[in-house]
Structure formats: C-alpha cells, structure tokens
Structure 1
Amino acid sequence: MMASTWGRVVLLSALVWGTLALAQEAPAAGEHPAGEGGASEQKLSKDVQNPVANLISVPLQNNTDLGIGPFDRQRNTLNIQPVVPMPLTLDWNLITRVILPIVYQPDTAAELGGTFGLGDTSVTFFVAPKKPGKLIWGVGPALLLPTATDDVLGTGKWSAGPSVVLLVQPGPWTLGVLANNLWSVFGSGDRASVNQLLLQYFITYDLPEGWYVNSAPILTANWEAEAGQEWVVPFGGGGGKVFKVGGQALNGSVGAYYNAVRPDGGAKWQIRVQLAFLFPEGKKQQHE
C-alpha cells in the first residue's frame, strides 16, 4: 500500500513538473509584438477572468469546507491548477487545465481523525478560437483520473465527458459559465458509478489598479445520489487583485460561499483563498 501511494506521488509530481516545464518552453499562443514589455495589470485582470485566455497560469487554490456532519468538521482541499494554452493551428488554441487536489477529509462519524492524501485528478482540454468575437468560448473533453491515495478521497473510476465555457467581457464586466458532466467509463467494480455535473457561473467587475470583485460559486450535482440529495448550490462572492512582486505577476483572491442547498451532512460554508502565478505572453517574448 505504501509503495503504491508513493508511486502515485511520483507520477503526479512528474505530471505537475512536466506541465510547468511545458509552460516555460511552449511557444506563446498570442500574437503581441515582441518587446511589448508584458501586459498591464488591468489587462491581466481581464485575462485572469477568462478560462481560455492566452495566459499561462499556475493557481494554488485552497478551499476550506466548514460545518460537515454532526460534529461540524472541516475539510481542506488544496488544488494545484496549472493552465497552459498552446497553438493548435493558425486560428485555434488548445488550453489544457489540470486540477491536482491535496485533500484532508475528516471522519464525519467522530469528533477527531480523518484521511490526508491525493484526490482524483481532473484534466480538461478546451479548443478555442485565437480571435473570438464578443462571445468567447471553448469546448473539449474533461477527464477524471482515479489518482486518489485512499478510497475516501476519490471515486476509484476513470471518468470522461464534455466540457464547455462561454463568456462575454463588456466594459469592466466578465460574465460567463463553465460546465462539464462526467460519467464513469471503467474502474473498480465495487465502487459506485460516476455521473456528476459541475456548473460554475462567474461574474466579475474590474476596479482600478488591478482590483476586482467577483462571484464564482461551483454548483455540483451527483445524479447517482438519492432523491433530494443530489445538489450542492452555493451563494457568495469575494474579490482580489492582480499585482506584481519583482517581475512576477500574481493574482490573489479571497471568497466565501454559503451552501444554501446541500445533501444531509454536507458542508455549510466554503472559504476560498487563491494565489496564482501568471506568465503573460509579452514577458515570455522578451526572452526569445
């Protein structure tokens, strides 16, 4: 069991480092002229709200779920989420989004104790036009890989399904939706089948100097659950700022969401804190 766990750790570490290496070496997907000096904080603020922008980013997103079970336990999930756009053709980009979760799952039947380890890895590929119109969009497959180091941290199933993102950015606003539905394809025969929806709408209003306020709740539905226990529907919001430390562009944000609809024993609140490392195209081109 220990050898299997460490094997997964090594495999996933290679996946993350490989993605980061690709981010450094891949040719820029955009077409800004060389020597532009990097995007401004205001432009970066716009780009970070667009899931299919020509922007390499490595978000570290920490989600703390509060009020789980009869003992009001806490679950913590740190998502490592590299996003790498690459040119597919002269007119199209391929955006790869990976989510590697590191999870602490509490024992909901006791006041103490829980399980810590890796969860299932999500990989989404969006094909998107390089020069979209007013409606920005991307479509592609979403995959769920059974990389969890413990049964309570994952599904035990290889799953796949379609994913789509649609958004518009009029003036200081960004309004959009991202959705996918996954079905289990194969995996452990003694584990439950997977049929789950993820739906995230996002609303952002840009403020001066890289500041913004936003709401980006993640709605989920487990279609295999009992009637009345399928949905998690949060409401809330937060804000953040795009800034630089030295020459490194960063995006920091904080949000809080109340799960108005949730299954029995589900988390009541979620606190989301994120720090994303940004690699604008102009900065890459300065070194080419």
Structure 2
Amino acid sequence: MKSAIRIASLSIVSSVICVSNVRGDDDAQDLAKKLSNPIASLISVPFQFNYDSGYGPSDGHKAYVNIQPVIPFSLNEDWNLISRTILPVASQTDITGPTGDQFGLGDITQSLFFSPKEPGAGGIVWGVGPAFLIPTATDPMLGTGKWGAGPTGVALKQFDGWTVGMLANHIWSFAGESDRADVSSTFMQPFVSYTTHDAWTFTLNTESSFNWEADEWSVPINFTVSKIVKIDKAPVSLTAGVRYWAQSPEGGPEGWGVRAGLTLLFPK
C-alpha cells in the first residue's frame, strides 16, 4: 500500500509541475484567493489525501481521503450560510499495535457558518455557527461511536495576496455508544497563505487539537502548494505538500507525512 500511496502522491505533484506553464488570469487568481477563505461564497468539493506513519509499537500507518464539500447559501441581502462537511475515507494498519487492517468511512464533521456578505471593520471576514459530530464510521476503530456538537468560528483578513486567519471549534459528545470514551475536543487551525498573480498558492497551517478527556495534544504542521488549472474548461485546484508532527498523542503518528489533493470548483 505504501508504494501505491507514493505513486499517487508523485502523480499529483507531477500534475502540479506539468501545468506550471499555464498562466493564470485575474479570474484564476480570484478563485485561488477564495479557496484560501474557508467561508467564501464559492461551491467547491475538495478531495484531500493524507498519509501518516509511526503509529504505536508496530509502526502502523494510515492513509485517508477527506471529502470536504463547501456549499454557500444566501439567506438575505446581508448574510450567507456556509455548509462545510468533512467525510473521511480511511485505510489503516496496526494503528494501536498489531490490530490488523481497517478500511471504510470515518465520522462526519458538519459545520455551519453564518457569515456577513461584506467584510467587517478593518476588512475582517468572519463566521460563527454550530459544528456536529456524526458517528458514520463503518468500523469501531475508524470513529468515536458518539454524537457530538459544539460551537465553531472563523476569522480572517485578505490583503495584497495574503490570507491570514484562524478556524476553531469545540465538540462535546452527548449521545452514542455507552462503552466508548466521551468526546471533548478543541480544534484550532491558524493559517497563512500567499497567492500569486498566476494562481499559485503557498499555505502554512497547523491543525491542532486538544483532547480534554485524555489531556493530549495533536499538532501537525502542514505546508502545501496549490495551483488553479483548467481541465476541459472547468477550473480545478491541484495541491501537494508535506506535514510534520510537532506533537501527537501517545501511540499517535510521528515524523513526516504527505498531503495531496484535487478540488473541484463551481464558480457562479
């Protein structure tokens, strides 16, 4: 499986390199900037591939694709509702010792952001709303077995090609399988990105989470490069990058990981 993962990652990296001679225009740059904004008024469907290793005493590994549709809804002249869904499809081996292989769906995280259509004071773009944890995992080792809910919010500013901001949420479990651990988790994603005139975007972020039940941090640091291209006149974004686990829970992933992706774009 590792060989297949490397081939898939190299293929996406090669695709990004091969289209580097395709010049972007103002529309492509505008799309790239919108992609850097988690609550932009843009329908997009990212397929984000991740690979991590170093789990537990058996050096387990995990590959998963996050399917992350973003759908904006206009509520009135002043407000949008932005739906952001994360559905993981995972394949993992020996995650907690010699536990064998698992493959299937993970738990869905569903977020809803109420966001003003126009930036606020100082050009700040923001949104707040609820987040939900839905126990859709097809294997007990791929999910929590719990229903959860809590608040989520995002704030950012875009200027001169730069996007700087943070997305955060906290989810508590309120129902689900009684023999599974409760969920109380804080997620924080500070991010900074720069988009060039020809629609290249360079992004640095962390996707840190703190498990209040286990008193443990997970802190992966991600660096990615994205490019807007056109396939049969349809705009898409190709992404390739790496991540480093600065901190992980006991038995969690270690060292370097890989991230790659394809985002389908549906501009108005």
TM-score (norm 2): 0.86
Structure 1 residue 148: deviation in Å?
0.6
* C-alpha contact 2:62 2:95 (8 A) present in aligned 1: no
**5+ residue gaps, structure 1:** 1-37, 282-288
Q: Which residue of 2 aligns with 1:113?
A: 100
* C-alpha contact 1:39 1:280 (8 A) present in aligned 2: no
Structure 1 residue 109: deviation in Å?
5.2
Instruction: Render the CA deviation track for 1:134-187: whole Å, top value 9, x for unaligned.
Output: 000000000010111111111111100000000000111000100000000111
Match of 2:116 among 129, 153, 157: 129
Match of 1:258 among 244, 247, 254: 244
Instruction: Render the CA deviation track for 1:18-39: whole Å, top value 9, x for unaligned.
Output: xxxxxxxxxxxxxxxxxxxx97
Q: Which residue of 1 aligns with 2:183?
A: 194
Task: Report the Cα distance in structure 1 between the residues aligned to 2:137 and 2:267, rounded to whole angstroms.
Answer: 32
Q: Which one has a larger percent strand, Structure 1 or Structure 2? A: 2
**5+ residue gaps, structure 2:** 1-24
Q: Which residue of 1 aligns with 2:223?
A: 237
- Residues 39-58 of structure 1 aligned to structure 2 (within 5 Å): 40-58=27-45
Amino acid at match of 1:149: T
Query: Do residues 86 (structure 1) and 42 (structure 2) align?
Result: no
Aligned-residue Cα RMSD (Å) equals 1.6
Match of 2:170 among 164, 181, 189: 181
CA 103–236 in structure 1, closer or farther in 2 if over 3 Å, else same: closer
Instruction: Render the CA deviation track for 1:120-142: whole Å, top value 9, x for unaligned.
Output: 01110000011123000000000
Q: Which residue of 1 aligns with 2:87?
A: 100
* C-alpha contact 2:60 2:96 (8 A) present in aligned 1: no
Task: Report the Cα distance in structure 2 between the residues aligned to 1:150 and 1:204, rounded to whole angstroms.
Answer: 36
- Residues 1-288 of structure 1 aligned to structure 2 (within 5 Å): 40-108=27-95, 110=97, 113-133=100-120, 134-225=123-214, 227=215, 230-268=216-254, 269-281=256-268
Q: State how many pairs are aligned.
A: 241
User: Could you tell me the percent identity over the aligned residues?
Assistant: 46
Q: Which residue of 1 aligns with 2:4?
A: none
Paired residue secondary structure (1:45): helix
Task: Report the Cα distance in structure 1 between the residues aligned to 2:96 and 2:209, rounded to whole angstroms.
Answer: 24
Q: Which residue of 2 aligns with 1:26?
A: none
* C-alpha contact 2:60 2:92 (8 A) present in aligned 1: no
